[in-house]
Amino acid sequence: MTKLLARPEPRVVVIDELRHVELEPGPGAGPWIQAAVNTVVLAGVSAGIYAVSKGGAWYAFGLPLVGALRGIVIAKDLSPFGRRVAMRIEPWGFVLDPEGKPEVLPWPRISQIRHRTVAVSEDSSVEMFFVEVDGRTYRAVCPASAPITVLPVAFAGYVAAAKKPVALDLDGAVSIEGTQATFAELLGRARRMLESPEGAAQLGMPAAGYRGVASRTPGHETASILRGALVGHRRAVDEGPLAAMLAAMLRTRELLSEVLTLCMSPSPFVAAVGKAAALRLGAAPMQPGAVEEVLPFLPVDEVRAIERFARGEDGG
């Protein structure tokens, strides 16, 4: 059994503003070319002033130097180093070049995220993001938005949540690495819990009948037991996905709001299971969103299996 934490940790969820944020590549060589052109023009003007003054206005040659330095500063702001590429921010990471050759970057794969607000004119600014992966830096921009600027600060928490092992029982005795969890294994565990006297007892459900068949009737404590696993982390593993599946299979609709919190988990697996459980409990489709939203971050067969669970077509 995994040791209980001294204080339960609140569940990490991604802010709603980070759902489907499109970023453009942003300025390329343009600002640098403009800086060079301005420097050449200023050099010509300086030469003209020097000639007219017959050498008296030698200080005019400081103009192109000042102009060049100013142009470099502006160009570095608008078009810093880093590969320009369109991106999309999802609750589970980044997708590079989403309309071309998409490269999916779950939170744990990203080394660092940096951000800065860049003024493009006196009246407007953009948010510029730098994503570091495997020693490479990618950059992109989007319209100014205060909420999404929290991403670099929240990033470490998203990585930790996405990597947290997924519990295969409510005691945390058995778990699997968060990025390696499979729905079939979790579903099998949920079924065995509901079908065994030990599992029923763990869930506070009525004891098995005289034929040894466990009842699927929630007990007085069942909702409370599952709620504790849904709202936070009592152990160093995530019991939420299993609890959400059990809540859906037991039709405990009073847990719907808690199940919905899983839908914005930084883990695509946890989020997909949360969406499916919420839909199975009768949530309006727009509340959890479609299970298919996580498709770039999970294998297709996993997503389809989770969708079948949402429709109650899993035999559970």
State the pLDDT at residue 277.
97
Whether 265 is in a domain gets the answer yes
Q: Do 279 and 199 share a domain, yes or no?
A: yes
24: domain CATH number is 2.30.29.30
pLDDT above 80 for 61:
no
259 neighbors 247 (Cβ within 8 angstroms): yes
Q: Cα separations (Å) of 141 from 75, 78, 262, 299?
A: 15, 10, 29, 29
Percent of the chain's residues with pLDDT above 90: 41
Residue 316 lies in a domain: no
Check whether residue 33 and residue 19 sit in a common domain: no
Percent of the chain with pLDDT over 70: 74
Report the Cα 214 to chain-centroid distance in Å: 39
Q: Are 232 and 11 in contact (CB under 8 A)?
A: yes
305 and 200 in a single domain? The answer is yes
114: pLDDT strictly greater than 90? no
257-to-24, 169, 246, 302 alpha-carbon distances in Å:
35, 22, 15, 24
pLDDT at residue 147 in the model: 86
**What pLDDT is attached to residue 172?**
75
pLDDT in tens, 300-312: 999 999 999 999 9
pTM (two decimals): 0.79
Longest Cα–Cα distance in the chain: 113
Separation CA 119–CA 138 (nearest Å): 20
Q: Is the pLDDT of residue 111 over 90?
A: yes
Strands (E), 91-195: 93-96, 103-106, 112-119, 125-133, 136-143, 166-167, 175-176
Indicate the pLDDT class of residue 67, thresholds 50, 70 and 90.
very low
Which has the closest alpha carbon to 21: 147, 159, 163, 155? 147
Whether residue 271 contacts residue 310, with contact meaning beta carbons closer than 8 Å, is answered with: no
Assigned domain for 264 exists: yes
Q: Are 79 and 31 spatial neighbours (Cβ–Cβ below 8 Å)?
A: yes
Residues 215 and 302 in one domain: yes
**118 and 250 both lie in a single domain:** no
Residues 54 and 99 in one domain: no
Lowest mean pLDDT, pick from 67-76, 93-102, 267-276: 67-76
Instruction: Give the residue from 118, 144, 161 where a domain finishes.
Output: 161
In this structure, what token pair is assigned to residue 22? 């499109």
Q: 110 or 9: whose pLDDT is higher?
A: 110
Looking at the fold, whether 130 and 253 belong to one and the same domain comes out as: no
Residue 90's SS3 state is strand
Please give the sequence-ordered ranges of beta strands (E in DSSP) within 56-102, or none if there are none: 83-84, 87-90, 93-96
**What pLDDT digit, counting tens, does each position of 28-47 carry?**
444 434 544 455 554 555 55
List the one residue out of 202, 193, 203, 274 whose CA is nearest residue 238.
274
Please determine, for residue 180, whether its predicted confidence score (pLDDT) is greater than 60: yes
Q: Are 273 and 185 contained in the same domain?
A: yes
217 occurs within a structural domain: yes
Which one is predicted more confidently, 4 or 284?
284
- Together in a domain, 183 and 275: yes
- Is 1 inside a domain boundary? no
What pLDDT score does 145 carry?
Answer: 84
Arithmetic mean of pLDDT, 120-133: 81
Q: Are residues 181 and 118 in the same domain?
A: no
Question: Cα 280–163–310 angle (5° rounding)?
Answer: 10
Domain assignment present for 3: no
2 falls within a domain: no
Residues 272, 287: Cα–Cα separation, whole Å = 13
Domain boundary pick from 161, 188, 218: 161
* Interval 7-22 mean pLDDT: 86
Same domain? 154 vs 54:
no
In the three-class reduction of DSSP (H, G, I as helix; E, B as strand; rest coil), residue 94 is classed as strand
Band (pLDDT 50/70/90 cuts) for residue 214 is low
Least confident of 9-23, 31-45, 192-206: 31-45
Q: List, in sequence order, every residue forming a beta bridge with 233; answer none if it has no partner.
A: 9
Highest mean pLDDT among 194-198, 225-229, 274-278: 274-278
In a domain, residue 227? The reply is yes
- The whole domain housing 211 covers 164-310
Q: How far apart are CA 260 and CA 231, in angstroms?
A: 10
Token pair for residue 154?
């929240």
Q: Indicate the number of domains in the chain.
A: 3
Q: In this structure, are 179 and 229 located in the same domain?
A: yes
What pLDDT is attached to residue 79?
45
Q: How far apart are CA 112 and CA 92, in angstroms?
A: 15
Give tens-digit pLDDT for 234-284: 778 899 999 999 999 999 999 999 999 999 999 999 999 999 999 999 999
pLDDT at 120: 66
pLDDT of residue 257: 95
8-state DSSP, 213: P
Domain closes at, from 161, 179, 212 = 161
Quick check: 52 pLDDT over 80? no
